[in-house]
Amino acid sequence: SLVLLALVLSVNLMAQTITQTGVVVDQNNEPMIGVTVQAKGTTTGGITDLDGNFTIKCNKGATLVFSFMGYKTVEHKASGQRMKIEMAEDAQALDEVVIVGFGSMNKKHITGSMTSVDSKILEEKNSVNVFDALQGAAPGMQIVSNSGAPGSSSFVSIRGASTFSDEGVSPLYVVDGVVVDNIDDISANDIKQIDVMKDAASSAIYGARSANGVILITTKSGESGKPRVDARYQHSFYTVARKLPQVNAFESRLSMAASDLNNPSKTLEKFSARTDSVGMQYSTNYYYQDLLFRTGGRDDASVQISGGSKGFKYRASLNYIGEKGVILESGNDRYTANVNVDYEPWKNIKFTTRVRLSYNKTNNIKETVLQDAMRRDPDMIIWYPDGELIPYYSSGGRRNPIAELKQKLDERSTYRGNFYQGITWTFTPWLRLDADISADYTSNRNLTFSSKYLEGSDNGKNTGADKSQQTWKYAGEAYLNFNKTIAKDHSLSAMVGSSFEVSNQLAYNIAGSFFLSEDIHYMNLATVKDVKNINTTGWDEAMVGVFGRVVYSWKSRYTVTGNLRFDGSSRFGKNNRWGSFPSVSAAWRISDEPFMRWANNILTDAKIRASYGITGNDKIGRYESQTVYTAGSQYYNSVGGIVPASKYGNPDLKWEQTKQTNIGVDLSFLNGRIMFVADYYIKKTSDLLSDYNLPSTTGYDKMRVNLASIENKGVELSLTATPVRTRDFSWSTTVNWWKNDNKILDLAREDYINSAWLIAAGKPAGLFYGYKNLGVYEYDASNAWTQDYKNRLTPVFKRDNEGNVIIGLNGQPTLEKYLNPDGTEYTGKIAQMKVNGVVAGGGDVIWYNKPDENGELDDVINSNDQTELGKANPDWFGSWGNTLTYKDFSLSFNFYVSWGGQVWNDLKRYYCSWGGNTHKQTPEYIMQGWKYPGEITSWYALNSKQRKTNNHSMSLSDQFLEDATFIRLQSVRLSYSVDPKFLGKTPLRSVQAYIYGNNLLTWTNYTGYDPELSGGVLTPGKDSSKYPRKREFGFGFNIGF
């Protein structure tokens, strides 16, 4: 019994519970706020208060772990005596482990060009999607929204376009190790970190699909400890960022009168039926943008639960985003669910399960509704007195914009499920096997309907269609990782593996007309089926790959990395089905050299990097290496048949290859207080995939070939600093700057013009090509040139005693003589310019007359006079992000800059191409357009619609090219976090409230809605009638339990 009593007493003493107190300070003896204090091996813990103090109940002798982002972790035994813990900054702690292809790597061993973006940046921008949050966060990555509409996607390119294919310019997306087609269904709240792989050394491990860079996304996982519940809600208000000038009823009269400049009295005509104030049809004065735009908004709610133990960790989340667009009837609803589970049943084996589900429903609208509305008479009615929308056939030839939104349906629904199961088997501390298998299922449905009231007659038909797609993708990979340190100084790691991917799709389409109901759109209500648009289509494809990587480092001072991947794809012909993609890179941490010790107090770390590698692009049609046949769309005497497709198959198709060289430097000063990264790169892509026109005698239109090459070169700079960090206040700032210059090296064909862009060897992609506007002829006699057409002459007219030009009864002045540019009298023969076979006169444009290859000029303005007008791509980009904290308050704001380049304001050109009774122009053109002989203006004649001189109809005139430069206040966020000491007796762990704004201000000279535009690789910069960008204001709450 005495022995038993002694054992009980000893156990009680060993398990004695104490209250441990203390304070945590930094190297400057300043208290540290928010340091996590946890008893090792337990879920017991807390954080330090505003004065750095902490209190924790634990067993006497327990190991307390003190951790804080950016500082080295400290462990200390609990003794019951008050502690003073000093924590030191760890310059390598931030982003120490970087996710790379098929593994992770210590940051000091990284030899390629990568940028990491953590969840804090995503949180501060409060964006609807990941792309909006990433804009400006990674140098070298250009992100432009394709439209301001809810649910729209974005154009993304890394280090310029390495292909001619618009579909092939996007980077490769990898989520938790799985390649995905897009990341539109991923909630920003679920993302832990995004790593952008920019050079070949980083991305070559993904081989055939990595020429445009790789974006790796790591989602959040559970952590050991008690269950944690985090809830988040935010609500915002949308307004259109900018409105454009539009004609009013009076200006409309001027526009109508412009069709008959020979009868000026019509300009102020008063009491016609058109201006009857009590008439129903023309009694309004609408500003259409006020009718079409509204205050939209967003509701964003999410809840996450996470936790676990040493061998089992979990995290589950639900998220909803509901958007109401700034244009009537537009909107988007998105639901996402994410479950991550890590299970270790044995010490050396871990199972990883990932499930991601999403549902997205988008109501699209006809984006050209804006250009149609603003060209419509402002006094045309929209509604009948009973509230019924006036139909198209009663609108005088102009569509009713409200009816176009209300009576037209374009609804898209997407269901998506992604399932992943992985296993990690650690054989030894230096040898590990990773294997996984995944499945991705996507179901899309697009339901469209157009009312009969949108047709041109009262007996019109309604039409509708129902399109569905089902896509399956299965993928798997297995790779072996070796990582061992030899003799302390030598570090060697290697990885070898293989992967496969199989995809297929089945699509259904049915269309019809004359529906029995305007409100119910089931296809069985269509009394007439559109046989040519009832079909099923499908495709399948497969890819396999074998890959490996070797990394050697000596003392972490010298590091060499080599990657090699072989890929085989069913998209290419048997002659070129396989491709190899190697890369090699090296890094020298010069700061570790003995001769650099003198700088150690200032220069914490310095690394020089260099890399070279080859990557590929496989973004072509799935069957372009084969000649295929089609059925269901060709009929003869109402009998269908099978016919060859218009494109001839090319069995010799091969991969686009991008060879990239990168030189970079990473510098860290003052223990990480200042970080600087610089990169210079050259990318040369050869064997570009493009269409080649075939002679009509072949029976085919085109064939896909490898025929061109393009080069991108640029510089990327990034500076991150924490200028101020005190007990109560801190300020961190990041400045990014980058530029990219591209040039087409070879076309393997003659230079050509694609609409309004010149595609030529030795020239940049996106080069505008058109007519140069030199002004407007003031008089008919102003169209006078010397005989060689090199100099325009100045007419001298008869004037009165006051010096005024005398206009005769014929409406023209009396010409006395012509003067040379030097002021001397011209006595030679007068030459005149012709446009479209007509001599140009007063009010017509003075077009640039381009010399021919011999330097000679002629008297005709035609397509031969088109010339280079400028480039669409910006000269450089920049961003500036800031975060300031004061006690429990935090303020963040971000600026984004796009400098240089031009925008083709085709929306303005479209408005100014019309005239007459029902087609209105811009107020600027109506008020400033040429109206009478002698008027000095930059705008051509108001009656150009009736002229044959093509003032308004040239494909592109530099009059409609504008500067694309802009500076944007991208986001602002002000938050307040409740001090944890006030939550001690509540179930709450954290409470945060915030207000925010996105796209608040834009400084630009562009006169359209927004100068930031997406577009094709070869045809960028055209502003037709995109859905305008929104301005957003909102508030939100984050609560942790």
CATH number at residue 164: 2.170.130.10
Q: Distance between CA 568 and CA 982 in Å, rounded? A: 61
Other CB atoms within 10 Å distance of the CB of residue 460: 18
3-state secondary structure (DSSP) of residue 615: strand
Where helices occur in 875-981 by DSSP H, the ranges are 906-911, 923-928
From residue 939, alpha-carbon distances to 228, 476, 795, 917, 926 in Å are: 66, 63, 20, 20, 9
> Which pLDDT score is estimated for 43?
64
Tens-place pLDDT, residues 343-356? 999 989 999 999 99
112 and 216 in a single domain? The answer is yes
Rounded to 5 degrees, φ, ψ at 698 are -75, -20
82 and 102 in a single domain? The answer is no
Percent of the chain exceeding pLDDT 70 equals 94
Are the CB atoms for 104 and 116 separated by under 8 Å?
Answer: no
On whether residue 356 sits in a domain, the answer given is no
102 and 214 in a single domain? The answer is yes
Q: Distance between CA 81 and CA 202 in Å, rounded? A: 51
Structure tokens at 161: 């376009």
103 and 138 in a single domain? The answer is yes
- Residue 920's pLDDT band, with cuts at 50, 70 and 90, is confident
Closest among 607, 489, 548 to 109, alpha carbons compared: 607
> Which pLDDT score is estimated for 153?
85
Residue type for position 534: I
Average pLDDT of span 257-274: 53
On whether residue 479 sits in a domain, the answer given is no
On whether residue 36 sits in a domain, the answer given is yes
Q: 86, 108, 128 — which closes off a domain?
A: 86
Residue type for position 1037: F
Other CB atoms within 10 Å distance of the CB of residue 231: 14
Is the pLDDT confidence value at 34 over 90? no
Rounded to 5 degrees, φ, ψ at 206 are -100, 5
Tens-place pLDDT, residues 847-858? 999 999 999 999
Q: Distance between CA 836 and CA 846 in Å, rounded? A: 14
182 and 116 in a single domain? The answer is yes
Closest among 465, 490, 457 to 408, alpha carbons compared: 465
Is the pLDDT confidence value at 268 over 80? no
Is the pLDDT confidence value at 7 over 50? no
Other CB atoms within 10 Å distance of the CB of residue 615: 35
Tens-place pLDDT, residues 627-662? 888 876 666 676 777 888 888 888 888 888 999 999
57 and 103 in a single domain? The answer is no
836: region left, alpha or beta (phi > 0 left; psi from -120 to 50 alpha) = left
In degrees, rounded to 5, the angle at the alpha carbon of residue 172 between the alpha carbons of residues 356 and 758 is 135
104 and 223 in a single domain? The answer is yes
Strand 834-835: give its sheet, edge to edge: 838-839, 834-835, 860-861
387 alpha-carbon distance from chain centroid? 41
Tokens 């900018």 correspond to what residue? 242
Q: Which domain holds residue 174?
A: 97-227
> Which pLDDT score is estimated for 943?
83
From residue 263, alpha-carbon distances to 253, 553, 915, 931 in Å are: 13, 86, 16, 11
Is the pLDDT confidence value at 712 over 90? yes
Tens-place pLDDT, residues 557-581? 999 999 999 999 998 888 888 999 9
Average pLDDT of span 12-37: 77
128 and 54 in a single domain? The answer is no
Q: Distance between CA 136 and CA 737 in Å, rounded? A: 9
On whether residue 204 sits in a domain, the answer given is yes
On whether residue 835 sits in a domain, the answer given is no
Give the CATH number of the domain where residue 77 resides.
2.60.40.1120
Q: Distance between CA 478 and CA 633 in Å, rounded? A: 44
Q: Distance between CA 764 and CA 744 in Å, rounded? A: 6
Q: 86, 120, 142 — which closes off a domain?
A: 86
47 and 79 in a single domain? The answer is yes
> Which pLDDT score is estimated for 48?
85
Residue 957's contacts (CB-CB under 8 Å, 6 or more residues apart) are 770, 771, 772, 773, 845, 909
Residue type for position 169: V
62 and 133 in a single domain? The answer is no
Which range has the worst mean pLDDT, 102-111, 286-295, 426-435? 102-111
166 and 55 in a single domain? The answer is no
3-state secondary structure (DSSP) of residue 788: coil
How would you label 782-800 residue by residue, b for 16+ Cβ within 10 Å and e otherwise? bbbbbeebeebbebebeee
Where helices occur in 900-1041 by DSSP H, the ranges are 906-911, 923-928
The number of folded domains in the chain is: 2
Are the CB atoms for 791 and 797 separated by under 8 Å?
Answer: no
On whether residue 8 sits in a domain, the answer given is yes
On whether residue 446 sits in a domain, the answer given is no
Structure tokens at 736: 């990014």
Residue 696's contacts (CB-CB under 8 Å, 6 or more residues apart) are none
DSSP 8-state secondary structure symbol assigned to residue 153:
-
Q: 196, 227, 258 — which closes off a domain?
A: 227
78 and 111 in a single domain? The answer is no
On whether residue 152 sits in a domain, the answer given is yes
- H and E: helices and strands count for the chain: 10, 58
